[in-house]
């Protein structure tokens, strides 16, 4: 992989704040932190354009005593089983459950499924964390 070097001019105060932030996060240097910021911006752009294959986790918190909600969430996952990679269900207390659904597929379909789960009546809180699939590996048994 070729490396391209470029300079960035920023006010000293901004550079100092950025250095404090990256030190607190454990980055070895500015370059690593800037690469991560660039990758994040590219993932965000891919998601917003609704194109390409993406992976998302959908985190839901809900009251498991609402039986129709549990059934609706399961039914939605079965209707879109080609997008659902896996789910994890955690009992938070005697009433509340947390469920994480991992979705993978075309961006528009994953976005629609995630929004359908979060907007289900009875979900108390929902959040989507998304990423785009960007080829990193070439060759090998899993990456032809």
Q: Where are the domains of the chain?
A: 12-49, 53-132
**Architecture, CATH, for domain 12-49:** Orthogonal Bundle (1.10)
> Residue 50, exposed/middle/buried by CB under 10 A (0-12, 13-18, 19+)?
middle
- Record the pTM: 0.74
pLDDT in tens, 25-72: 999 999 999 999 998 888 788 777 877 788 999 999 999 888 899 889
Handedness of CA 81, 84, 86, 88 (dihedral sign): negative
Q: What count of other Cβ atoms lies within 10 Å of the Cβ of residue 84? A: 18
Q: Residue 118 contacts by C-beta under 8 Å, 6 or more apart in sequence?
A: 58, 60, 126, 127, 128
pLDDT at 135: 58
Tokens of 30: 């500015």
pLDDT in tens, 91-109: 999 999 999 999 999 988 9
Q: Report DSSP letters for 36-85, one per residue.
A: HHHHHHHHHHHHHHT-SEEEEEEEEEEETT-HHHHHHHHHHHHHTTTTEE
Q: Which CATH number fits domain 53-132: 3.30.70.1150, 3.40.190.10, 3.30.465.10, 3.40.50.300?
A: 3.30.70.1150
Residue whose entry in the numeric block shows the structure tokens 């976005």 = 111
Say if 12-49 and 53-132 have the same CATH topology. Answer: no
């Amino acid at each position: 992989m070729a490396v391209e070097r470029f300079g960035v001019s920023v006010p000293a105060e901004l550079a100092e704040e950025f250095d404090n932030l990256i030190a607190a996060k454990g980055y070895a240097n500015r370059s690593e932190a800037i690469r991560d910021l660039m990758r994040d911006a590219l993932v965000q752009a891919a998601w917003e354009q609704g194109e390409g294959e993406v992976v998302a986790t959908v985190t839901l918190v809900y009251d498991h005593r609402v039986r129709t909600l549990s059934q609706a969430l399961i039914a939605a996952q079965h209707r879109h089983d080609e997008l659902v990679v896996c789910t994890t269900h955690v009992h938070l207390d005697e009433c509340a459950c947390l469920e994480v659904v991992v979705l993978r597929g075309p961006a528009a379909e994953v976005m629609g499924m995630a929004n359908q789960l979060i907007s289900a009546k009875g979900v108390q809180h929902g959040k989507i964390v998304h990423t785009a699939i960007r080829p990193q590996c070439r060759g090998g048994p899993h990456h032809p």
